[in-house]
Structure 1
Amino acid sequence: MANIFEKIVNGELDADIVFQDDRVTAFRDIAPKARVHVLIVPNQVIETVDDIADEDEALIGHMVLVARDIARQEGIAEDGYRLMINCREHGGQEVYHLHLHLMGGQHMGPMVCR
């Protein structure tokens, strides 16, 4: 059964898509944690960071370059932004389809709060 991100990539669910090509899709998070919060996902399903294969190296690099370009388009590149990938339960991953969070437009604070 397709996960929510697969359905967005395939056009089966509506999303505020800010970028899409043959390798990745980027869309606004429905529960943003920052003024700008965009998820960049590979169009092919890779469940976690731990499931990235050596041959996915170019795809992962492409995801980061897309994040950079979106940050520039959103006007947050100059002040800075955060890129984050969660992996599995202890890493806070909620959807098991690799996704890169691009967050910014405000001071992001410390990485981990106790």
Structure 2
Amino acid sequence: MNKYDTNNIFAKILRTEIPSDMLYEDEYAASFKDINPQAKIHALIIPKKEYQNISELLDGDKEFLSNFMKSVSKAIKKINVKNEDFQLIANNGENAGQEIFHMHFHLLID
């Protein structure tokens, strides 16, 4: 069942209906601080297309996927200025802990 809701918080951030502390943005991705950080640095990286989870993203438009992943790399490099170790996490579905059904990565750096 597709749970994508065009009024989810990430969609609203992309439409600038909700302000966010934008860390990186280009035509494929946006990255901003998580409001409930779980590490010293905790950012979210989201695609600028309506994918509810990483499975949909991987099964979708391959050209967009390639460009999005390049943008993810650029965001990580911009946010991770000290080039430290990091975690990149994507929960896929309710049983995996996904709460917002707009695909997103958690970038965590301690």
Query: Which piece of structure 1 moves more, 52-61 or 15-24?
Result: 52-61
- Considering Cα pairs closer than 8 Å and 6+ residues apart, tell me whether 1 or 2 has the greater RCO: 2
Using a 3 Å threshold, how does the CA distance of structure 1 residues 94 and 54 change in structure 2: closer, same or farther? closer
Q: Please say if residues 89 and 106 of structure 2, whose CA atoms lie closer than 8 Å, have aligned partners that are also in contact.
A: yes
Structure 1 residue runs of 5 or longer lacking an equivalent are 107-114
* Aligned partners of 2:24 and 2:78 also within 8 Å: no
Deviations 1:30-78 (A, max 9, x none): 001111111111111100122225443343344443343333333342x
Which structure 2 residue ranges, 5 or more long, are not aligned? 1-5
State which of 36, 39, 47 in structure 2 corresponds to 1:34: 39
RMSD (Å), alpha carbons: 1.9
Deviations 1:84-113 (A, max 9, x none): 100111111010000011110x2xxxxxxx
Between the two proteins, the alignment pairs up a number of residues equal to: 104
Q: Which amino acid aligns with 1:99?
A: H
Q: Sequence identity, in percent?
A: 28
